[in-house]
Amino acid sequence: MQTQRKQIIDYIEHGNIAPENIPAALLAAKITPDGSAWLHFVKQFLLWLGALALGFSCLFFIAYNWAELGRFTKFALIELFMAAVIVLYCKQPNDSLLGKVVLLLASLLVGVLLAFYGQTYQTGADHWLLFFYWALFILPWAIIARFPAIWIFWLALLNLSIVLYYNSFHSLFFIIFSSDQGLLWLLFIFNSLSLIALEYLAIPCKWLAPRWPARLVAVAGGVTITALLLQSILARHSSDFITVIVWLSFITALFFVYRKLKNDLFMLAGTCLSGIIVITTFTAKHLLDDLQEASFLLLAMMVIALGSGAAMWLKKIHRESL
Amino acid sequence: MSRSDTNTLWDKLSDAALVQGTPPDIKATDSPWYIKLLLAFSGWMAALFLLGFIALGFADILENRLATFIAGGVMIASAFVVLRLPGNEFLQHLMLAVSLAGQALMVFALYADTAGDNLFYVWGMIAIMQLLLALIMPDFVHRVWSVFAFAIALAITLQLRHLPAIESAIMLFLASWLVLNEFHYATQIRKFQALSYGLILALITLKSVALLTYHPNNWITGENTNRSYPWLDELLLAGVVLYLVFSLLRRYQKPLFTVFTLATLLTTLLLCALSTQVQGLTVAMAIILLGFSVSNRILLSLGIASLLFYSANYYYQLHATLLDKSQTLLIIAIVFLILRYLIVRFSAHKKETSHGS
């Protein structure tokens, strides 16, 4: 809808649409939604908000420190609610939005149940296990739901369990990633692998066609590898060389995939931004040691040149894709 | 959008006799938001280095407030002149950085050694300066930045007069008016868009920091003042959301005294009442509504992101127990799901009736 919107703005600005015809043209191009579009939107909006509010209401209810309710009553409440939600899901037709939202709600409730179990029996398990098992238990639902939001929720749970795992053990299998940059490396590897999986799965699975899940995961991967390289540049870690090679490989892979195989300007813009940040930090680190005014001017010009160059290149690709 | 899609849209409008002349060159179309964000980011970075250059190379000027103020003004004026010309990308981008550095110099000159009651006038002047720049600067990224800076400066000015409760309502009203009227002024569409984006970004930022019981003014005065009259904030926001919903109903020529209109307005009021508990709900819903009403995906995404943030923040608000929060959320869930059920039933019934007749 954004591109049609841009197009109609062009028509209006070029005087192709007379002022008195603008409302009718907007309606014809569906920029101004008609009655049925509003109805669809309101139904979706109420469903999403209602389901999420219900899930969080249950979470807060269980989290409240009840003196009057015994643990079995609380377990029964969560499980009954979960069973009701699953029954509701089973009654929905295949691929209905209501069914998918209900499954997302059920996935939230699994976490409530696990958290309450851990709280009640003081299992002594590490925190990361809660999120890991949560992700593990909802995996079958994520597979049958065929819904990007559940997969992003699933990936977020695993990211969280990685963070908590690393905070507990400071390494993985006691061998690799034992440096102070280990957490960023783990997150980078996990999100990069997730990105590859999402892009491969998007080929046969039409429900993964929306670009936002892959973009979100790519941002997570890009931010972590850029942060790793910035740390290396600023603090001179022993892993400098490996970080540079991995960063170069990552942005080259992004460039190749999203320029040659699958046109995605957002990914290319992110690649450029990472490049500008890294080049500027590297140059600033070496030029600003003696605080000369000429160094600041040179850096300013360099950033402008890099930004303008990147924008011109991206705009060229954008025009080519029109 | 491919060329064939463009032709389809043109043909569709042409068939309805809504367009005239020849279609414009599609290659001159506007660039996506993330390219603008990249330009803005590198513009800010370059402005910081320019400021470093001025601080070291022209240290004498910075010691004189008047000279600093004039130097900042000259930089902004040169940026204004160059940005008006159809120049190359490098020059345009350079001028964005020059203007940002010039603004920093002017603010520094205004702000140096200022304290007490003078702060109010200084922040008022910064707000006026940014508003003027937002209106006259012929560059989209510059406009978004200037109106954002205007909104933040205005919020601080209002806080200095103990009026923080009205800032969100002012911003939401201005943003709503701009979005609802963006197509009414054919030559000003992109200006209206830039202004509304800046205001909405500032509104989301201010509401978020206010929820964290922090206000930008705290940086200025060093006092840790909580927001005063949060209920007034929500009340005024409810008024603006009613204006927004009423304007949309008028767009579709719905008379005021019908069951549909009154039910819609009442439901809006109910949702705004719930927002006194889950603060930020009204702002997020208004942004989502604005985005959908003009098919603006950027506004829709901003609205959804802010809704998620405000909802998550509700867990950490200390004014209510978890049980109270659970009850509030349950009421919200019941209201929303019943409303949805009624709408589905009503629309199905209407469809059946129309098929029958």
DSSP-derived secondary structure letter, A260: I
For residue B215, give the 3-state DSSP assignment: coil
Closest A-chain CA to B57: A293
Nearest CA distance, B325 vs chain A (angstrom): 7
Nearest to B57 among A24, A293, A301 (CB): A293
With a CB-CB cutoff of 8 Å, which residues 31-50 of chain A face chain B?
A: 31-33, 35, 38-39, 41-43, 45-47, 49-50
With a CB-CB cutoff of 8 Å, which residues 225-264 of chain B face chain A?
A: 251-252
Euclidean distance between CA atoms B85 and B88, whole angstroms: 9
- Whether the per-residue pLDDT at B194 is higher than 90: the answer is yes
Residue to substitute from A298, A303, A316, interface B, most B β-carbons within 10 A: A303
CB count in 10 Å sphere of residue B59: 10
Mean pLDDT of chain B: 84
Contact between residue B20 and residue A316 where contact means Cβ atoms under 8 Å apart: no
Residues of B in contact with A211 (CB under 8 A): none
Q: What is the mean pLDDT of residues A63-88?
A: 83
Q: Looking at residue B217, what is its pLDDT?
A: 59
Q: Looking at residue A280, what is its pLDDT?
A: 94
Instruction: Return the percent helix, strand and coil in chain A, to nearest 5.
Output: 80, 0, 20
Nearest to A28 among B18, B325, B334 (CB): B18
Angle at B231 between CA B159 and CA B264, to 5 degrees: 125
Percent of chain A with pLDDT over 70: 93
Q: Looking at residue B290, what is its pLDDT?
A: 94
Instruction: Return the percent helix, strand and coil in chain B, to nearest 5.
Output: 80, 0, 20
Residue to substitute from A10, A49, A258, interface B, most B β-carbons within 10 A: A49
Nearest to A57 among B53, B186, B330 (CB): B330
Model confidence pLDDT, tens digit, residues B211-263: 776 555 565 655 555 555 667 888 899 999 999 999 998 888 777 777 778 88
Model confidence pLDDT, tens digit, residues B40-72: 899 889 999 999 998 888 888 888 888 999 999
Check B89 against A308: CB less than 8 A apart: yes
What phi and psi values does residue A172 have, to the nearest 5 degrees? -125, 120
Contacts of residue A311, Cβ cutoff 8 Å, sequence gap at least 6: B31, B35, B38, B39, B89, B93
| pLDDT band, very low/low/confident/very high, at B336 (cuts 50, 70, 90) | confident
Contacts of residue B110, Cβ cutoff 8 Å, sequence gap at least 6: B69, B122, B125, B126
- Whether the per-residue pLDDT at A141 is higher than 80: the answer is yes
pLDDT-wise least confident of A78-92, A170-184, B148-162, B293-307: A170-184
Q: Is A149 on the interface with B (CB under 8 A)?
A: no
With a CB-CB cutoff of 8 Å, which residues 22-81 of chain B face chain A?
A: 23-24, 26-32, 34-35, 37-39, 41-43, 45-47, 49-50, 52-53, 56-57
Q: How far is CA B273 from CA A17, A110, B171, B191, B235, in A?
A: 42, 31, 20, 34, 8
Q: Looking at residue B245, what is its pLDDT?
A: 92
pLDDT-wise least confident of A14-18, A20-24, A63-67, A145-149: A63-67
Q: For residue A70, give the H/E element and its range.
A: none
| pLDDT band, very low/low/confident/very high, at B27 (cuts 50, 70, 90) | low
CB count in 10 Å sphere of residue A306: 23
Model confidence pLDDT, tens digit, residues B88-142: 678 888 888 999 999 999 998 888 767 666 888 889 999 999 999 999 998 899 9
Nearest CA distance, A25 vs chain B (angstrom): 6
CB pairs under 8 A between A and B: 253
Euclidean distance between CA atoms A261 and A263, whole angstroms: 7
Using the CB atoms, write b or e for A220-238: b if 16+ within 10 Å.
Answer: bbbbbbbebbbbbbeeebe
| pLDDT band, very low/low/confident/very high, at B201 (cuts 50, 70, 90) | very high
- Whether the per-residue pLDDT at A173 is higher than 70: the answer is no
Residue closest to B270 by CA, chosen among B200, B351, B343, B336? B336
Closest B-chain CA to A34: B252
Nearest CA distance, A175 vs chain B (angstrom): 37
| pLDDT band, very low/low/confident/very high, at A73 (cuts 50, 70, 90) | confident
Q: Looking at residue B1, what is its pLDDT?
A: 47
Euclidean distance between CA atoms A250 and B346, whole angstroms: 53
Q: Looking at residue B87, what is its pLDDT?
A: 65
Q: Looking at residue A139, what is its pLDDT?
A: 94
Nearest CA distance, A184 vs chain B (angstrom): 24
Nearest CA distance, B198 vs chain A (angstrom): 19
ipTM above 0.90, yes or no: no
Check B42 against A14: CB less than 8 A apart: no
| pLDDT band, very low/low/confident/very high, at A219 (cuts 50, 70, 90) | very high
Model confidence pLDDT, tens digit, residues A82-140: 898 899 888 888 778 888 888 888 998 998 888 888 877 776 677 788 899 999 999 99
DSSP-derived secondary structure letter, A176: B
Mean pLDDT of chain A: 87
pLDDT-wise least confident of A9-23, A139-153, A247-261, B141-155: A9-23
